[in-house]
Structure 1
């Protein structure tokens, strides 16, 4: 399998990445028009952790982590490694030694739709990981692949330099050109949610705040007492 290693791809501006880091995955996903999720199958190895950074992408052969080794050289401060394979794989392609090398270079975490291992060590060293599997199954280093090319995870395309936001809810990608706009929309959404939260704390119902009573009526949903519904007492 021939491949390519692309050096110095364009990246989202650090200030825009920092702005997006203030928001959760659910908020960013909604701000993006409910697009960009990398799939519900990606689960965090840790809890209560949120990161944002620029993607360094890896396309590897299943069960072969050669291209992750190649990608380490391309990683720098503020990056997040994003790894996928040419066909589905659950092998433990990433572990503590990779994390050590990447942490030294300022990388903020890893996202892969394959597997990770050394999970306790990753948590202990504070290196966040999101993966589709956890597996002790090892890999070889024998097949070419690519680094810093567009890849697809969970139906979403990730290009090198796009922004990755990850937390307990999953992982979302924001195109680098849309980072600032998405941050602005995320902020507006949080402000709107804050107002709604205050209203709920005062006792207002979502049915009234969102005008959903009319929706129920339009859908033919009826209110009936228990006696009317069951015929009890007749």
Structure 2
């Protein structure tokens, strides 16, 4: 593994990031064809945050947070720090002091495929974190890694400057080059969902709105009266 710190990578447009963040992870994920999700193992440490930012990526050795210290210097306002390790780790690699340094630099949050600690302090200071674990286990600062190189979390490649969206539903990566298409598709999906929501409020059923009713017979699904069903069940139990 080449140990490098890549400086000044191109970042997605800040206004576009904010636009995508307003739609939320689930809407953008669906709009993008259900791609980009970092998986269910990366969860919010506290509920209630919805943020978007541009990725500053960190590849660290397990149990070693040296490269997070290195990465802080590379962060700009509007960034999200994205950390993973070369092999699985649940050690508490990040806590209140790191969050204090990142808040000073305008970083919007952390996504880490490892552990965090100082959970109460992180909540009190309003620094949102999505992690694979919470652990008091500390780390060392001894082994070189890389900053602003492509990393993989949950089978999803995250490149520096990509858009990271995170809320109570999880974390999503939108490749920098796909941002305009993602915005257009998310807007269309939001409008479609608004129309569907209104239809459901009027009493329309999903069976009819989504055209599912006509498909049921072909799936072998039958509608039967209760008495007929009970009679059939009784015969089946008696072996008649």
TM-score between the two structures when normalised by the length of structure 1: 0.98
Match of 1:79 in 2: 79
Q: Deviations over 1:58-115 (max 9, x none)?
A: 0000000000000000001000000000000000001000000000000000001100
Match of 2:50 in 1: 50
**Cα deviation, residue 214, structure 1:** 1.6
Match of 1:147 in 2: 147
Consecutive unaligned residues in structure 1, runs of 5 or more: none
**Cα deviation, residue 24, structure 1:** 1.1
Q: Does 1:100 align with 2:112?
A: no
Runs ≥4 residues deviating over 6 A: none
Match of 1:186 in 2: 186
Q: How far apart, in 2, do the equivalents of 1:215 and 1:172 lie? A: 33
Mapping of 1:112-191 within 5 angstroms?
Answer: 112-191=112-191
Q: Deviations over 1:145-189 (max 9, x none)?
A: 000000000010000000000000000000001112101111110
Rg larger in 1 or in 2?
Answer: 2
Consecutive unaligned residues in structure 2, runs of 5 or more: 236-240
Match of 2:41 in 1: 41
**Cα deviation, residue 230, structure 1:** 2.2
Q: How far apart, in 2, do the equivalents of 1:62 and 1:157 lie? A: 19
Q: How far apart, in 1, do the equivalents of 2:195 and 2:34 lie? A: 21
Count matched residues: 234
Q: How far apart, in 1, do the equivalents of 2:197 and 2:204 lie? A: 9
**Cα deviation, residue 45, structure 1:** 1.1
Q: Is the Cα contact below 8 Å between 1:2 and 1:144 reproduced in 2?
A: no
TM-score between the two structures when normalised by the length of structure 2: 0.95
